[in-house]
Chain A
Amino acid sequence: AQSVTQLDSHVSVSEGTPVLLRCNYSSSYSPSLFWYVQHPNKGLQLLLKYTSAATLVKGINGFEAEFKKSETSFHLTKPSAHMSDAAEYFCVVSVRGYSTLTFGKGTMLLVSP
């Protein structure tokens, strides 16, 4: 069985400040982990994914995430928020080699000027 917990339903930051979106996972097997982003009225877009290579994963638009097995975490970060980052972010877990995904409930990122 696998599950994902996104620790914050909403995160508010000012433009130019760092972003941290927190995610903890549970998986009986070696997980694959993803972050997806959904802008208003748009479909989901893959930001980044971890399979089994480097634990620090770089994604699009300056985002990155670090896989920490000891903490069962996969937090998403960005050094400097931009207004266009305002969106909902989903942390997702999958058992490696299988196609089904388990989604977290989402974190809404609000960016103020």
Chain B
Amino acid sequence: DVKVTQSSRYLVKRTGEKVFLECVQDMDHENMFWYRQDPGLGLRLIYFSYDVKMKEKGDIPEGYSVSREKKERFSLILESASTNQTSMYLCASTPGAGGETQYFGPGTRLLVL
């Protein structure tokens, strides 16, 4: 079974703090993704990565950055957290080209005060 893990289930941070969300997958997948999920809006893609050290902007990258130094790990960084970044963050991974089913982690619920 594919396993995608996220470092925290719940996180509370202050406005202006730098926040790191970590995601690890154990199936040697090429592609990894970060989404945020908000009620009534579904999932929106923040960033994705096709390979180590490669990243692509998704639909809502503003206020976020990412890092992928190792194939199995994809980090989402909030450089200066703001209250409008309070949300559920979901990480996903998928095999290389043609492997379209995405496997999701359990999510991190972030509250920015």
Interface residues of A (CB under 8 A from B): 9, 32, 34, 36, 42-46, 49, 51, 90, 94, 96-101, 103-106
Q: Is the CB of B90 within 8 A of A105?
A: no
**Which chain B positions have C-beta within 8 A of A97?**
97-98, 100
Extra 16 A-B pairs, beta carbons < 8 Å, given A32-B100, A43-B105, A43-B107: A9-B40, A34-B101, A36-B104, A43-B106, A44-B43, A49-B100, A90-B42, A90-B43, A98-B100, A99-B48, A99-B99, A99-B102, A101-B100, A101-B102, A103-B43, A105-B42
Could you tell me the dominant secondary structure of chain A's interface residues?
loop
A-binding residues in B (CB < 8 A): 4, 31, 33, 35, 40-45, 48, 50, 58, 90, 92, 94, 97-102, 104-107
Identity of the chain A residue whose Cβ is nearest the Cβ of B96 in the assembled complex: A99
Q: Which of A43, A44, A49, A99 contacts B31 (CB 8 A)?
A: A99
For the complex of A and B, list the 10 residue pairs with the smallest distance between their C-beta atoms, beginning with the closest.
A103-B42, A105-B42, A103-B43, A44-B104, A43-B106, A43-B104, A99-B31, A106-B42, A99-B94, A94-B100
